[in-house]
Amino acid sequence: MPPSAPSAEMVGRATELAEVRRLFEGVRDGVPAAVLVEGEAGIGKSRLLREFAAGIEQTADVHVGWCLDLGASRTPYGPLTGILRSIVTRMGVDRVRESVGVGAEALGMLLPELVDAPTDRGRTSPERLRDAIASLIESAAELAPQVLVVEDLHWADESTLAILSFLLRALGRGRILLLITCRTDDVRRGDAVSRFIGEATRARLLERLTLGRLDEDAVRELAEQITGSPLSETALGRMQERAEGVPFFIEEIAGCSNGPLPDGLRDLLLARFDRLGDDAQHVVQVVSGAERPLSHPLITRLADLPEQRLDEAIREATRSGILVVVDDDYRFRHALLREAVHDDLLPGERARLHRAYAETLEAQCSGTDSADAAALAYHWQLAQDDRRALIAAADAMRHAKARYAFASAARFGELALELWPLVPDAAEAARVERLDLLLVLGSILRNAGDGERALAVANVALAEVDPETVDPRLHARLLRNKALYLVNLGRLGAIPLLQEALSIAEEHVDDQVFRAELLNQLASRRMIAGDREEAIRLADEAEHRAAGAASTDQLSIAANVRGGSLAHLGEVDAGVREYERARELAAGPNAEMRYRVNYSDLLTLLGRYREAVEVAEEGLRRARELRVERTSGSIMAQNMVVPLLELGEIERVEEMLSRDFVQGTLRVFRMYMSMTRVRVLAWRGRSAEAAEMLRDWLPAFEETGVSERQIWYDRVMMTVAVAESQGDFRGALDTILEMLQDEQPALLHQRRLLLEGAAIVAGLRADGADVTAASGAIRAAWLAQPAQLQNDAWSVILDALLDPHPDTVDEALVRADGEDVPVTFRVVLRLERARMLVHDGDRAAASTVLAEAAALAETLGNAQLQAAVARFASDAGLGVRLTAEPSAGTDPLTAREKQVLELIAEGLSNRQIGERLFISVKTVSVHVSAVLRKLGVSTRTEAALLQKNPSFSATRQPAVVA
């Protein structure tokens, strides 16, 4: 028998190995990297990484985790648990606890050895678990370079993919190399693994290293290593024909060099197996039933052979190159061998084998909360024991759900439903009634981001409800959940369902807090639909019902809804006071973050952009305190995008959008962000792309806009932005005028569109169009707003653009140059003033004003405004010279540069500043250089001293601290 393949040297992979080593050198310098090593089965992916790991094991910590082949019953966080446990072993439990702080409690869900008692799920969250995993890896990287190897991604569960996606985005610094292997022929188009690879590749988060088949020289070299003798041209030709350059097949064919070659692939894979003795074949068949490496005691129990015969059988199987010993456990040398042996079993043999595995696992897990619940479901299903498979599937669903592995939990829940009609006492076996199972499964699917399937499950459950016998609370919860799923999908029908749920609760459920929750949800839907008075009435009732509750969260949510409704009715001051109450009453993080999201949104609608950003940034700081800044905090970051765009910080907006902060997959949430993306594309003059995105999303916006007024206004905003970017100003104005004909209640969202309409009117009027009727309609709509929304800076600007006079335009310019006005109007009003000056014959003054407009438009990077200024300059025959010098007496630092200076004074590095402000390191470097230049200093230390002590002069000798 020739030597087993693992003893042969690796051939034909020098280029690929050099590439992985090159990336590792960058990792050692603190630049993280991630590589997907992909190729067909047997191509040598794992061998390449073993070779690489052997070369760096003295300079880095290598941690390996495997995705397990459990069919559809995939283990939640499969490879991650092994990797994390390896890191903990290397660091030590005490150091890990010190490094991750409160995150140890979340990690305890996967690594119980980190906590003294089982983790209370109510005290943690998916965000905390993800952040804790990232914090642990980062802490380990401070001690030594970390190489994390995830084997067999094609068998990964969705929870693993979600964590990997998060880590690719979150681990922006540190000595971390993530290596992933994937069998490409087992990845199906459109499945979760395919989507993960596609998204990570498009976002440039993952480099892909594809292993090709070996050429003829490499085939000869490998085969001669294995056989120990030269290969004839005839033998080489036969090997090329049969193995086609796949290393694993070359190894197997070389192993048959002393006999005839098998006819097919299956026979080739079983050739080594067929040469084994009976005992060795029996042991190999037993091991083929395992989805993971097996310990010697477990093989002893399952094989049921005398000790001496078992040892000889195992020795023969390992010498043959079928089994290998890894960390004192036995496993197949290659997954293809395992699959071939397992598939060769007769149905009865296969069922008996998996029953033995299941019974053994149950004995091992008795009385414990074990992650082997997924394996039990797999083995009992293959053992064809429907009842015990149902029990295991239900347990596996609960186990995965408790660890926030929602997609995996959904698979097990659906398996339980599939098995349900096959088990006479299904409810007793699964320890859950069918309707309760459907309720839980719908919630799991929603949390997994699969809104369509969640809705389908809710429909199935409600179709099975008998109102005469069903528990009223359960009935109400099913109705409420269906309403939530419809909202998540942007569909109609939520309000009637919530009303029915509330009616049932009022009549049959003696739980005031539950009623308050339903009232708040209905109030929120009424507010979003524009029915503000009814929303306030419902919120008042919710507050009354929740007055005596232990938690004040429902009181906070009621104040939140009331605040938004009052503001949209024009009672802005009263609405702001309610939001302050919502903040004070928020007891839990959900109510608190809800306040910050909704209040910052209101501030944006009122044009109080700086405040809106400050509230959102404070939310980010709070998220950091909760250790969820890269997850829940990212949702708050998205709420910063619109005010930042209105403030003209386009590069920061683009940086945030490029990071893809949409962690969730809810359709409505993506709709909100798509509006901003369209506006950014239009801002940059990429009108074709903006129009294409608008076309893609328009049907969804039109459907959802029927019940959600904000989405309805977002559709108008997108349509106007695209029309303006295409130069169709009449079409943009018609869209705004059409908005004014709508009979539904007008919300605060209308104000920004009316202001934009005034700017469009001014431009069309300058081109000679008759805009009298349009101007009158816009003014009438503006004056129809409540008195509290009148006579502000926006009113002055709107009046100046609709009825321009030198004095009113000059006053509007002063207002536009202040805070709380969209920065584009600084250009729009200067352009209008320049038109008036040309009309009056003062061309010199017009040139000066137009130069300011041109400089502002260039600074903003707004293609449409730049084109408008250039067109007027050309038509009027004005020479415009751009000047970037600040006016005398003005602060030389921009708002962004002041923020950067403050963070420099805190001692933050450029990378840390970029993470805090959500801008790239390169952009931070530009700002730092500008700060040093403008302050007249040469070092960051001098800039920090000047920020803390304005009287400090860089020309003086700085103090020396011993």
- Residue-wise pLDDT tens digits, 411-448: 899 999 999 999 999 999 999 999 999 999 998 888 77
pLDDT-derived band at 402 (thresholds 50, 70, 90) equals: confident
Tell me, what's the pLDDT at 265?
A: 59
Cα 419 to Cα 73, 87, 384, 412, 454: the distances in Å are 14, 39, 11, 10, 19
The DSSP bridge partners found for residue 150 are 65, 180
Q: What is the mean pLDDT of residues 595-615?
A: 91
pLDDT-derived band at 882 (thresholds 50, 70, 90) equals: very low
Rounded Cα distance between 20 and 180, Å, is: 12
Q: What is the mean pLDDT of residues 327-352?
A: 84
pLDDT-derived band at 8 (thresholds 50, 70, 90) equals: low
Rounded Cα distance between 309 and 315, Å, is: 10
Rounded Cα distance between 461 and 154, Å, is: 33
Tell me, what's the pLDDT at 664?
A: 45
Q: What is the mean pLDDT of residues 930-939?
A: 77
Residue 540 has pLDDT above 70, yes or no: yes
Tell me, what's the pLDDT at 187?
A: 76
More confident residue, 128 or 39: 39
Q: How confident is the prediction for the chain on average, in pLDDT?
A: 83
Q: Which of 348-352, 395-399, 596-600, 823-827 has the highest mean pLDDT?
A: 823-827
Rounded Cα distance between 35 and 17, Å, is: 12
Tell me, what's the pLDDT at 679?
A: 92
Residues 6+ apart with CB under 8 A from 894: none
Listed residue (706, 653, 710, 641) closest to 684, CA to CA: 653
Condensed to tens digits (0 to 9), the pLDDT of residues 625-637 reads 554 454 455 567 7
Tell me, what's the pLDDT at 177?
A: 92
Ranking 255-259, 647-651, 759-763, 931-935 by mean pLDDT, the lowest is: 255-259
Residue 657 has pLDDT above 70, yes or no: yes
pLDDT-derived band at 889 (thresholds 50, 70, 90) equals: very low
Condensed to tens digits (0 to 9), the pLDDT of residues 106-160 reads 888 888 888 776 666 656 667 678 878 888 888 899 899 999 999 988 888 888 8
Tell me, what's the pLDDT at 784?
A: 92
Q: What is the mean pLDDT of residues 507-521?
A: 92
Residue 368 has pLDDT above 50, yes or no: no
More confident residue, 103 or 554: 554
pLDDT-derived band at 956 (thresholds 50, 70, 90) equals: very low
176-183 and 146-151 as β-strands: parallel, antiparallel, unpaired? Answer: parallel
Cα 431 to Cα 315, 393, 403: the distances in Å are 45, 11, 20
Helices (H), 840-889: 843-860, 863-876
35, 24 contact by CB (below 8 A)? no
Q: What is the mean pLDDT of residues 683-700?
A: 91
578, 570 contact by CB (below 8 A)? no
Tell me, what's the pLDDT at 883?
A: 42
Residue 180: phi and psi, rounded to 5, are -125, 130
pLDDT-derived band at 662 (thresholds 50, 70, 90) equals: very low
Listed residue (513, 597, 605, 533) closest to 560, CA to CA: 597
pLDDT-derived band at 499 (thresholds 50, 70, 90) equals: very high
Tell me, what's the pLDDT at 654?
A: 85
Helix (H/G/I), strand (E/B), else coil: 723: helix
Ranking 194-203, 452-461, 464-473 by mean pLDDT, the lowest is: 194-203
Q: To the nearest whole percent, how much of the chain has pLDDT over 70?
A: 86
Q: What is the mean pLDDT of residues 177-204?
A: 81
Residue 665 has pLDDT above 70, yes or no: no
Q: How far is CA 89 from the centre of its chain?
A: 29
715, 743 contact by CB (below 8 A)? no
Tell me, what's the pLDDT at 885?
A: 42
User: 737: burial class by Cβ within 10 Å (0-12, 13-18, 19+)?
Assistant: middle
Q: What is the mean pLDDT of residues 641-664?
A: 77
- Give the number of other Cβ atoms within 10 Å of residue 217's Cβ: 10
Instruction: Order across the sheet with 207-210: list the strands.
Output: 61-66, 146-151, 176-183, 33-39, 207-210
Residue 495 has pLDDT above 90, yes or no: yes
Rounded Cα distance between 239 and 237, Å, is: 5
Retrieve residue 923's tokens.
Answer: 């952009």
Residue 3 has pLDDT above 70, yes or no: no
More confident residue, 822 or 8: 822
Tell me, what's the pLDDT at 778?
A: 96
pLDDT-derived band at 619 (thresholds 50, 70, 90) equals: confident
Tell me, what's the pLDDT at 809?
A: 92
Q: What is the 3-state secondary structure (H, E, C) of 369-417?
A: CCCCHHHHHHHHHHCCCHHHHHHHHHHHHHHHHHCCCHHHHHHHHHHHH
Tell me, what's the pLDDT at 645?
A: 93
Q: What is the pTM for the complete model shown?
A: 0.70
Helix (H/G/I), strand (E/B), else coil: 888: coil
Task: Please give the span between the terminal C-alpha atoms of the chain, in angstroms, as a whole number.
Answer: 74
Cα 209 to Cα 16, 194, 201, 856: the distances in Å are 7, 16, 12, 46
Retrieve residue 548's tokens.
Answer: 């005596």
Ranking 223-237, 330-344, 402-416, 557-571 by mean pLDDT, the lowest is: 223-237
323-326 and 329-332 as β-strands: parallel, antiparallel, unpaired? Answer: antiparallel
Residues 6+ apart with CB under 8 A from 297: none
Condensed to tens digits (0 to 9), the pLDDT of residues 847-878 reads 999 999 999 999 999 999 999 999 999 888 88
